[in-house]
Amino acid sequence: MSQVWHDLLFMHWQVPADVLAAHIPPGLTLDLYEGIAWVAVVPFWMSGITPRFMPAVSGLSRFPELNVRTYVTQQGNKPGVWFLSLDAANAIAVRLARWWFNLPYLHATMQRDLQGEKVVYHSVRTDASAATACLTGEYQPTGEPYYSTPGTLAHWLTSRYCLYTTDANGKLLRGEIQHLPWPLQNAQAHFSENTYLQAHGIPMPSSAPLLHFSKRLDVVVWGLEAVT
């Protein structure tokens, strides 16, 4: 499946590893950077969402999304992303993604507006199957685009080329994610409300998040395969 991700903000916090480990299924290990666990809240919007080599479907190919994610490895290698939740503002897309990718997609009412370089973002989870969550605020880039250097924290957090999930029976699955390196920018953000971590039982850290912005990334997400 092809996708284009736009106006994406990585908000990363350090959190106790034992808090995040409770969300990780058997077969995966929480990935740490210099012994520290990280969790992210990631608002953005998507376009061009379509199976490869097929035309986009009106009403299904463009909408906001917000992810809560952390980082895992499988048997000490193949580092990837584990999604605690993925909120999206398209009920049909949510149902299809739950079925197709076995990911914890949830429906939300979302709005994204651009004011020059500033992104004004509002999301309220409306899915009755999960705890209520809200994000309201704004963010924008503050520097020139750059590519992170291998070994740095920015590279470790963002250069993840697969996702993990499980099927209805708990079997571990992996989906490859193909894209060029992230064009990152330093960022600033102000959110009057952000309860997405608390919705997962993760206390909001008192420290400010580490922020990275990316204007656009073209992505191909491959089908899921069983992990052996």
In DSSP notation, 15-55 reads E-HHHHHTTPPTT-EE--BTTBEEEEEEEEEEEEEE-TTSP
For residue range 30-73, what is the model confidence (pLDDT) as tens digits?
Answer: 999 999 999 999 999 999 877 755 555 555 568 999 999 999 99
Phi-psi region of 64 (alpha: psi -120 to 50; beta: other; left: phi over 0): beta
Nearest to 164 by CA among 96, 104, 218, 110: 104
State residue 94's pLDDT score: 86
- What's the pLDDT band for 77 if we cut at 50, 70, 90? confident
Amino acid, single-letter form, for residue 29: T
Amino acid, single-letter form, for residue 140: Q
**Is 144 a residue whose pLDDT tops 60?**
yes
- What's the pLDDT band for 1 if we cut at 50, 70, 90? confident
User: Could you give all domains of the chain from N- to C-terminal order, each with its CATH number?
Assistant: 2-226 (2.40.400.10)
What does DSSP assign to residue 116?
T
State residue 97's pLDDT score: 77
Amino acid, single-letter form, for residue 4: V
pTM for this structure?
0.94
For residue range 92-106, what is the model confidence (pLDDT) as tens digits?
Answer: 888 887 887 899 999
